[in-house]
Structure 1
Amino acid sequence: MNRRLVAGAVLGSASQLSSVGLLLTSAWLIVRAAEHPPVLYLMVAIVSVRFFGVGRAVFRYAERLLTHHVALSRMIDDRVHAYQNLERSAPTGLPRQRRGDIISRVVSDVTTSQDALLRIRLPWIYAITSCVVVTAVVAWISPVAALVIVGHALACFTIARLGIATAVRGDSIDASKARSTMSAESAVLASTSRDLVAYGAAAPFTRRLHEAIDRQARNQLRTGWLAGIGSALVLVSTGAATATIAFAAGGFAPVMAGVVLLAPVALLEPLLSVLEAERLRPAVQAARQRLAQLDDLQAPVIDPPAAVPLPISNELVLRGVVAGWDSSLTRPVSVKLTSGHIVGLSGVSGVGKSTLALTLVKLIPPRWGSLALGGIDYRDLDGHDVRARVGLCGQDDVLFDTTIRENLRVAAPDADDDAMQSVLTRVGLRPLLERMPAGLDTVIGNLGSSLSGGERQRLSMARLLLGQHKVLIFDEPTEHLDREAAAQMIADILSLRRGHAIVLISHSAEVLNACDEVVSVVSPFDPSPTTDHPGEPVLTAAAQRS
């Protein structure tokens, strides 16, 4: 990677020097040709002009291949790192982050950060290299002209670094915030537009969106004006340097006049590129700072540095587990989950049943008590290993706006079509697949909008089964389903008992009666628990019948 970057920088410098050489050699050739020397005296210059003309394009093309390869590789690494930060911090690390803002950081900010190499660092390297080489060549002809060029270059560098970068910093940072707000408001409007229009509540969102757009436009306009002023100052400095050389320099052969006088003009392109680099620097720094904030997100669960391998046994045991947040905790829960066993979790809304489910898949830690999988404490197991064995199908699992196949591959990237069709058959989606002309390639829309509520729930269940988990947790699997569809869903879940331990979280009496036992999840502040022994298994009708 570093060798590619060094080679790209060398080729980029060669391309920039070829542009400089093309201009200065052409200037010498024109002046010398005016003296009507023998044509052989001009052959070296003629060949040099051709070489610099062709070399400029060839070197630039090769430089772009190498440096963009490095920049794009870094961008991929940065984006993966951003995803890892989000994955590490979920579900408790993003309480104040809006969805659109997160998208802006992962997409726009990562893309902007690659400009630090391509449009900031490399232009400075090329500009400094060009200035040094041109100054050295001119110093060989006229030391006075060389001093003028040094002063001209330093003046332009100062304008860029201290003038433009400082002037646009506030606007660039504000534009970055406006873009984040615009992304967040756009995401809200895109996902809730129907409801907002139905309730007549879209106006505040559209107003904030338009305000963010106008704010970003004003910032970009001011930044453009400042960049234009900077470019004008560089042009003025170039003209002043040329005039100063014309009046103050002397003592060199007349044939060198074109070379000396056009030297400041030859540096115009690299100096303007530095100006553009400094215009972009605040925006790139703001993007990097926003990405760095993702590094500061706290991970709710910290895995051990040397995790114990997963045990063979799938027995999951909870001993006095208290789950929840600072303001909402459950009473201690104790239960044993074994293969073929179905346990229900009951309790009033908001008591912490779903939070307990997140604790079982090691997304958040227990506040008290212990969990053990196959006799090994959760604290000694890696979270990814736990989630490979214990799977959760939430009541609002996310379905992506892509095909059925790609939604299933979230659980098993290497799964083939036969495996996918098998799990779809097991969850009762075979008729849906057969009536879809595209089959597994059917696009299901945003959040599965083209599917019914039951079909979305069954697709989430199929994804869970495809992951080959041994402990299955279903959070409100019959929510929003009619009685007949709910009964069929429960029957399908019960058919999975062979080879799996199953946890059913539900308010429905029909669902809980189908369980072998029910654990009542109760708040410690509840003065009237639903059972005499909250948090302990309760015998159900299904268990009594067995």
Structure 2
Amino acid sequence: MTGLAGTRRLLRLVPVDTRGTAVGVVWAVLSLGSGVGLMACAAWLISRAAEQPPVLTLTFAVVGVRALALSRAAFRYLERLRSHDAAFRMLAALRVRVHAALEPLAPAGLPAFRQGDLLARLVDDVDTMQDLPLRVVGPALTAAAVSAFSVALVALVLPGAGAVLAVALLAAALAVPLATAWAARRADAALAGARGRLAGDVVELLRALPDLAVAGAVEARLAALETQDRELVRLTRRQSAAAGLGAGLAALAAGGTVVAMVLVGVPAVRAGDLGGVWLAVVVLVPLAAFEAVGLLPPALSAWQRVRRSGARLLEIVETPVPVVDPPAPRALVVGRVPHLRLEAVSAAWPGGGDVVRDVDLDLPPGRRLAVVGASGAGKSTLVAVLARFLEPTGGRYRVDGVDVRELAADDVRSLLGLVGQDAHVFASTVRENLRLAAPDADDPALVGALRAARLGDWVESLPDGLGTWVGERGAAVSGGQRQRLALARALLADRPVLVLDEPTAGLDPATADALVRDVLAAAGGRTVVLVTHRTSDLARLVDVGLLDGVVEVAAAGGSASAAEARVLR
């Protein structure tokens, strides 16, 4: 992200608290300005005290030193308090904005990002954005204001010295940050990406650890991570070395300016243009003034980090949304089972060709339909279309006769209770996992949903019952139990349309057939779409009236790139 246009995009992304940041800058200017005043007052006091005047002539300066010392600390505290409060408010708003942009991408748009790298963007890159007000805008404005004040103060005592200080501060403000940025340019450019790649590989290693252990590939993966970590350490050290270079150059510039002020001030004293007591003020004030200039090299480095992290966040925010809501969505009629209809629908995942093509499905209220087909035929893609995770590339999808392009995607999704192939179970209790679907449900209702999913006996056998912890991603339960928990959650949500995508995955055939029967019996008047590759008992389910029909989704021409549907029964 470069240029003025990139900066504008970044500023539109980051909700900076302008008022809070401005107040923080004011306190910072007062704090550093107090430091400059303290240096000037102390220098005059020391020089004047060396002449051993009456003590009363020093009283004002003594009081000034004490007051400025205390005010500097007080203003610094107020600056930190106000500027960090503004930064944290900005971070909270930015996190909401990024998550709001991420939510519509699920699930079709998420494969564009590695999970670990996405986590690094949501944590590290978002946190980096607090540097914009804290370490970029604030220090730059503070340095400009304090430098102007210092030059004015010195010029008031000796105009020539003020001009020298102005040139020195301007030169240091330009040269030192640029030298620091040049030294850190490669590290700054590579650091955010290196962190994201390392985070992605660590997450992948943790998830694939059992398979890697069986394959004997753990050591090789750990060695690769160690190599990445060494590279990350090298980049961090290079960035730190550049920051050290900036601090050293700033100190060198300050020392050089002090020497220059001596060369200007001593002749002025000899010529009678400057009192000897004021020479110390002219010579020592630049030391305090350069404290403000010393903020600029870190500010430029922080700006580089902000730009890199901002570009990574903009990739999320600017990723095209798979399903776009209309400007003025039509309202759905609630409280009844809708009529869903797909008419010659084709669909594709982002970046690929059509997976399903010219599919017709008619789902009037209460219909129970099974969709079967081989792996790769497009069954899950069809489910994604029904749930408005994918926009059809052709044909029409209607709800009660209304094209879904005229409806809000969330309104359409609110009609469906969806159980996917890899249903997610949260690291919580059985009770809390179920209450995601119905927050106000009592324990008898939860147990009833579990019984409908054939988990009644299982939950009663648990030591803590509904309060049993299921572990990270349901690690404490079996794959079949995890799938049935998700199914119970969908039943508890009581949506008018129930879409079950391979609900019997991980179950033995007898349990799978019994579960399908129980769920269909518990569905009541809901519309049910059962997606499965198992066809063993579907004909009998049609015969006894639990299913109205079976639709086969088959790859057209023997290819998974296209599909057509045909009614079997």
Of the three residues 287, 290, 293, the one matched with 1:271 is 293
Does the 8 Å contact 2:44/2:280 carry over to 1? yes
| Correspondence 1:174 to 2:183 | no
Q: How many residues align?
A: 533
- Superimposed CA distance per residue, residues 407-436 of structure 1 (whole angstroms, 9 cap, x where no aligned partner): 446546x54655656644553445555555
Distance 2:450 2:50 in 1: 84
Question: CA 1:59/1:410 → structure 2, altered by over 3 Å: closer, same or farther?
Answer: farther
Of the three residues 110, 119, 125, the one matched with 2:141 is 125
Distance 1:264 1:497 in 2: 80
Segment of structure 1 superposing worse, 90-99 or 143-152: 90-99
| Correspondence 1:537 to 2:558 | no
Question: CA 1:169/1:399 → structure 2, altered by over 3 Å: closer, same or farther?
Answer: farther
Match of 2:20 in 1: 4
Question: CA 1:17/1:402 → structure 2, altered by over 3 Å: closer, same or farther?
Answer: farther
**What amino acid maps onto 1:524 in structure 2?**
A
Distance 1:420 1:43 in 2: 79
**What amino acid maps onto 2:190 in structure 1?**
D
| Correspondence 1:253 to 2:279 | no
- Aligned-pair distance for 1:392? 1.7
- Aligned-pair distance for 1:72? 1.7
Distance 1:46 1:68 in 2: 33
Match of 1:456 in 2: 482
Match of 1:542 in 2: none
Segment of structure 1 superposing worse, 433-442 or 450-459: 433-442
| Correspondence 1:193 to 2:209 | yes
1:42-81 counterparts in 2 under 5 A? 42-81=58-97
Match of 2:164 in 1: 148
| Correspondence 1:232 to 2:256 | no
**What amino acid maps onto 1:158 in structure 2?**
L
Question: CA 1:391/1:122 → structure 2, altered by over 3 Å: closer, same or farther?
Answer: same
**What amino acid maps onto 2:555 in structure 1?**
S
What TM-score comes out, normalization by structure 1 length?
0.90
**What amino acid maps onto 1:315 in structure 2?**
H
3-state SS of 2:568 partner: strand
- Superimposed CA distance per residue, residues 79-115 of structure 1 (whole angstroms, 9 cap, x where no aligned partner): 2222233222333324442111111111111111221
- Aligned-pair distance for 1:500? 1.5
Does the 8 Å contact 2:169/2:290 carry over to 1? no
- Superimposed CA distance per residue, residues 205-256 of structure 1 (whole angstroms, 9 cap, x where no aligned partner): 3233222211111112222222222222211111111111112222222222
Match of 1:299 in 2: 321
- Aligned-pair distance for 1:534? 5.9
Segment of structure 1 superposing worse, 120-129 or 85-94: 85-94
Distance 1:160 1:433 in 2: 67
1:349-368 counterparts in 2 under 5 A? 349-368=375-394
| Correspondence 1:344 to 2:370 | yes
Segment of structure 1 superposing worse, 165-174 or 197-206: 197-206
**What amino acid maps onto 1:83 in structure 2?**
H
Match of 2:527 in 1: 501
Does the 8 Å contact 1:448/1:456 carry over to 2? yes
Distance 1:440 1:38 in 2: 85
| Correspondence 1:288 to 2:310 | yes
Distance 1:488 1:435 in 2: 20
Does the 8 Å contact 1:339/1:498 carry over to 2? no
Match of 1:317 in 2: 341
Question: CA 1:489/1:62 → structure 2, altered by over 3 Å: closer, same or farther?
Answer: farther
**What amino acid maps onto 1:295 in structure 2?**
V
Of the three residues 511, 517, 527, the one matched with 2:549 is 517
Question: CA 1:508/1:27 → structure 2, altered by over 3 Å: closer, same or farther?
Answer: same
| Correspondence 1:372 to 2:395 | no
Unaligned runs of 5+ in 1: 528-532, 540-546
Question: CA 1:512/1:58 → structure 2, altered by over 3 Å: closer, same or farther?
Answer: farther
Does the 8 Å contact 1:324/1:352 carry over to 2? no
Segment of structure 1 superposing worse, 420-429 or 153-162: 420-429
Question: CA 1:304/1:49 → structure 2, altered by over 3 Å: closer, same or farther?
Answer: same
Match of 2:358 in 1: 332
| Correspondence 1:21 to 2:51 | no
Identity of paired residues, percent?
A: 35
Does the 8 Å contact 1:427/1:461 carry over to 2? yes
Q: How large is the Cα RMSD of the aligned pairs?
A: 2.5
Distance 1:34 1:381 in 2: 84
3-state SS of 1:91 partner: coil
**What amino acid maps onto 2:341 in structure 1?**
V
- Aligned-pair distance for 1:319? 2.3
What TM-score comes out, normalization by structure 2 length?
0.87
- Aligned-pair distance for 1:306? 0.7
Distance 2:328 2:567 in 1: 34
Does the 8 Å contact 1:405/1:420 carry over to 2? yes
- Aligned-pair distance for 1:194? 1.5
| Correspondence 1:220 to 2:271 | no
